[in-house]
Chain A
């Protein structure tokens, strides 16, 4: 079945460093991948979308890559700040009617 996997372990990094989160998909070829940010007790917020024909997309300190050979997307936050601490979710269309499949998310903690 179609699956999206994210590293379930929390990622702890020092302020100012680059955080890199991984999203792997199996058993299908999504036309695009989306990334969301979720703070505790809140709903996810859309951040970025990257299409299969795009290798890289940037938005301010965020960068997303899409490697269809590795079946993987990487999400980077440069010059990370404590305010970037949150859970980051990867999602893609799983088939029909805009049905988005989500990964379980990776929790990022940026320490001062």
Chain B
């Protein structure tokens, strides 16, 4: 496999459920990201990990919990979500994160989440 793979592609859950989104990158990159994309709104950065350490958390509600066990895998654990959390969740990776890195992002296909 190549690129960035996200599973599941579609997820429907109730507000009391607990589920997880999974992301795997096969590009040897050092940084991984979670973005949220809602209709007609810009991509919102949620979490950034560099070398498995969280370096950015954009004031995301605690009902979203990221986990990065190694540089190739990233999870987003979901619990007690709200209907307004329904969106496309995109995982991405990049080669580096320094000031000199131009940091093109390689995205997965996304996980379409619907909260009932």
The interface of chain A, by Cβ under 8 A from chain B, is 4, 8, 32, 34, 36, 41-46, 49, 51, 89, 91, 93, 96-105
The 5 closest A-B pairs by CB, nearest first: A43-B107, A98-B103, A102-B43, A98-B97, A46-B104
Chain A to chain B contacts (Cβ below 8 Å), 23 pairs: A32-B102, A41-B110, A41-B112, A43-B6, A43-B107, A43-B110, A45-B107, A46-B104, A91-B105, A93-B103, A96-B56, A97-B55, A97-B56, A98-B48, A98-B94, A98-B96, A98-B97, A98-B98, A100-B103, A100-B105, A101-B45, A104-B40, A104-B42
Determine whether B106 belongs to the interface, using a CB cutoff of 8 Å to chain A.
yes
Complex CA–CA separation, A102 to B48 (angstroms): 15
Q: Are A49 and B41 in contact (CB under 8 A)?
A: no
> Using an 8 Å CB-CB cutoff, how does the interface string of B80-116 with A read, 1 for contact, 0 for none?
0000000010101010111001111111111010000
Say if the beta carbon of B25 comes within 8 Å of chain A. no
A33 to B50, CA, bound (A): 22
CB nearest to B107 among chain A residues: A43
Q: When the two chains form their complex, are residues A100 and B45 in contact, meaning their CB atoms are under 8 A apart?
A: yes
Q: A97-B48, A97-B55 are in contact. Are A49 and B110 (CB under 8 A)?
A: no
Expressed in whole angstroms, the Cα–Cα distance for A101 and B45 within the complex equals 8
A98-B103, A103-B42 given as contacts; is B48 within 8 A of A43 (CB)? no
Q: Say whether B42 contacts A4, CB under 8 Å.
A: yes
Inter-chain contact B48/A44, CB cutoff 8 Å: no
Indicate which residue in A32, A49, A97 contacts B97 across the interface (CB closer than 8 Å): A97
* Chain B residues closer than 8 Å to A102, beta-carbon distance: 42-43
> A43-B90, A99-B45 are contacts. A49–B102 as well, Cβ < 8 Å?
yes
A8 touches B40 (CB 8 A): yes
Closest chain A residue to B110, Cβ basis = A43
Whether, in the assembled complex, B31 has its beta carbon less than 8 Å from a beta carbon of chain A, the answer is: yes
A53 to B92, CA, bound (A): 27
A95 CB to closest chain B CB, in angstroms? 10
Chain B's closest residue to A5 (CB) is B42
